[in-house]
Chains A and B, each alone.
Chain A
Amino acid sequence: MRFLGYAVANVFETLLRLLPFPCRTGLIKIGKPQKDSPVFLTCNYHLTVQRVKRALKGMDAYLLIANSRGINVWCAAAGGHLTNHEVISVLKTSGIEGLVGHRQVILPQLAATGVELKIIKEKTGWRIIWGPVYAKDIPVFMQNKMKAGRMEREVKFPFIQRLEVAISWAFSLSLLAGIIAAIFFPRVFVPLILFIWGLSLATFIFYPLYGSWLSSGKGSLTFSLLVWGVILLALVLYSHLSSGISWRFLIRWGIISFVFVFITTLDLKGGSPLLAGGFEELKVTIDEDKCRGAAFCETVCPRNCYDVNRKKHKAILPRAERCVLCGACIIQCPFDALYFKNPEGEVILPGTMRKYKQNLLGKRVMKTGNNR
């Protein structure tokens, strides 16, 4: 019965993934927690809470649900809905301070884009420990004495998740387009829906084949045109084989496929957690003089871009091309040694990232003197 509820919630919320699903905030007890039991914190996106609870099964722990307005951890943290304020609030108002003797709270690492370890410590005395990206890795994390290995710290885009994105995308799009088609062009309704689902599924399932090509900075426009070209070819072939070339058929479906290919593929960078959503011209830059090798950046980077040279105590970016511009490293560096810079030499400083997160990212660049 429990499982059925979990399954239904999964299906339903996958279909409507683009909408928020808030659930109750505050304190949840898992098992029979004691004064020294671990304290976890997560967002109040319903599905996330379900998954975390599942991962904690069999443990004795406290789970704090912060008010992220029903949005998942990464989006909420990047958009300014899961910030210091929400974390401070749930720590202070949930009553947890009276229940445990320690002051350590485990946050999902992706919250590092919005929540500052340093401020939480200053304002509440609680020490944040960055837990794994995915809830399912929590048991491993606990076995390793609360250390997340490189694998558990990296955002991935596995088949199942790609399928989820494809389905939610196709569902929302076919709902919208389907209503319009049903009213104005009832004849194309069925093939249109099939086309949308086929396109979405193919785009996301074949992602590994072209993902690295896209992330190497190639425009998504080129990519969209390529996909459209392939579909055009297929259309010509189909019409040639079935009843001989029909211009009306080709023009109609040429236009329809053009529209939907662009709607679907132009958003790839937003839909995939492995690509920067625009603003690729920004690069994370290390101020060598300020860096002291504290390695906070290495810990929070969800793309494993960093290494730290332990002898020289300096961070390096050997895998900078994987960066998704989440800003977590910049926000967490205790010495303000990191910032964004574009080719024109304009920068986005740590203070700006901490305040506004990813909101209006591209518009927050500013000129600097020549001290950088």
Chain B
Amino acid sequence: MSTYILMKILESAPSRYDLGIRLLTLGRLGKAYDRLTSLVKKGDRVLDLGSGTGALALRAAQKGAKVKGIDINPRMLETAQARVKAANLAQNIEFVEMGVVELDKEEAESFEVVMSGLCFSELTEDELRFTLKELRRILKPGGLLLIADEARPRTILKSLIISPLRMFLRIFVFILTQTTTRALKNLPEQVRTAGFDIVSSKLNRSETFLELVARKPGGREK
């Protein structure tokens, strides 16, 4: 029975996904996505990494950008596709089943913006390093990297308070959505090491959620 119930939950994952994620981030996600996508301009070519149910991709397309969303989960893509159709944005968004480390076919300097919501924390350390390098290659000079993700508190005290709380939330979210994440440590440093300039980096008060805007050097300053 337990496996049966787990299977059911797993199968309906995409529909519960949004709920689970919203619980994990306690509602701040939507606002963060709005702030980040306000930097997208009409006509921009935008890549959305780990597009999931399409929350970021839809916002960018509504601003008139040409969006490519990639994700490794075919059921997420199925849900995203349905949402795009319902919003009448099919000409502006393309979804492809592809992992973040499979961008080798993308031309160098072909995107104005790369964005990613809650996907980097699902990557392995090796993947993250590899991906940041690739992003630097495919972004145009002056292009933007927009990230919203879970962070690990840097202050020990906050860390002590947050860990058990998060453990509990995590088990709950796992049962709901069958995903686990690993909150990011030192993401801004890693992004800088990969050759980006940090434009802005914002942690919430409990230091559990990070909003990051970075730029590939060169091009026209905005």
Measuring CB to CB, which residues of chain A are less than 8 angstroms from any residue of chain B? 18-20, 22, 25-26, 67, 69-70, 79-81, 83, 85-86, 88-90, 92-95, 123, 169, 172, 262-264, 266-267, 270-271, 277-278, 355-356, 359-360
Q: Are A359's CB and B11's CB within 8 A? A: yes
Most buried by A among B2, B6, B98, B99: B2
Interface with A: B120-128, B136-144, B158-166, B185-193, which one?
A: B120-128
Q: Are A123's CB and B174's CB within 8 A? A: no
Give complex CA distance A89, B123 in Å.
10
Q: Are A85's CB and B180's CB within 8 A? A: no
Interface residue B4 (Cβ < 8 Å from any Cβ of A): yes
Interface residue B194 (Cβ < 8 Å from any Cβ of A): no
Q: Are A85's CB and B102's CB within 8 A? A: yes
B190 to chain A, nearest CB (A): 14
A352 to chain B, nearest CB (A): 10
Most buried by A among B7, B75, B102: B7
Having A93-B129, A267-B3, A267-B4, one finds 14 other A-B pairs with CB under 8 Å, namely A20-B174, A20-B180, A26-B125, A26-B126, A67-B127, A69-B179, A85-B102, A88-B101, A93-B130, A277-B3, A277-B7, A278-B4, A356-B74, A359-B11
Residue of B1, B75, B171 near A267 (CB, 8 A) is B1
Residue of B75, B129, B171 near A356 (CB, 8 A) is B75
Q: Are A94's CB and B126's CB within 8 A? A: yes
Residue of A69, A90, A93, A172 near B2 (CB, 8 A) is A172
- Chain B residues, Cβ within 8 Å of A20: 174, 180
Residue of B2, B124, B127 near A18 (CB, 8 A) is B2
B60 to chain A, nearest CB (A): 23
Q: Are A271's CB and B101's CB within 8 A? A: no
Chain B, residues 24-61, CB within 8 Å of chain A (1/0): the string is 00000000000000000000000000000000000000
A219 to chain B, nearest CB (A): 15
Q: Are B75's CB and A89's CB within 8 A? A: no
Give complex CA distance A267, B124 in Å.
34
- Interface secondary structure of B, over-half rule: helix
Smallest CB-CB separation from A355: which chain B residue? B74
B138 to chain A, nearest CB (A): 16
A-B CB contacts (within 8 Å), total count: 82
Contact A80-B11, Cβ < 8 Å, known A92-B101, A267-B3, A277-B3:
no
- Chain A residues, Cβ within 8 Å of B92: none
Interface residue B62 (Cβ < 8 Å from any Cβ of A): no
User: Would you list 17 pairs from A and B whose C-beta atoms are within 8 A, ordered by A residue?
Assistant: A18-B6, A19-B171, A20-B174, A26-B125, A69-B178, A89-B127, A90-B124, A92-B130, A93-B124, A94-B126, A264-B1, A267-B4, A270-B4, A270-B7, A277-B4, A356-B74, A359-B10
Smallest CB-CB separation from B182: which chain A residue? A22
Q: Are B180's CB and A70's CB within 8 A? A: yes
Give complex CA distance A164, B125 in Å.
33
B69 to chain A, nearest CB (A): 15
Residue of B72, B75, B127 near A83 (CB, 8 A) is B72
Give complex CA distance A81, B6 in Å.
14
Smallest CB-CB separation from B77: which chain A residue? A355
Q: Are A271's CB and B129's CB within 8 A? A: no
Give complex CA distance A14, B73 in Å.
29
B181 to chain A, nearest CB (A): 10
Most buried by A among B3, B125, B130: B3
Q: Are A89's CB and B99's CB within 8 A? A: yes
Most buried by A among B1, B6, B72, B75: B1
Give complex CA distance A86, B102 in Å.
11
B89 to chain A, nearest CB (A): 24
A165 to chain B, nearest CB (A): 10
Q: Are A69's CB and B102's CB within 8 A? A: no
Smallest CB-CB separation from B6: which chain A residue? A18
A290 to chain B, nearest CB (A): 25
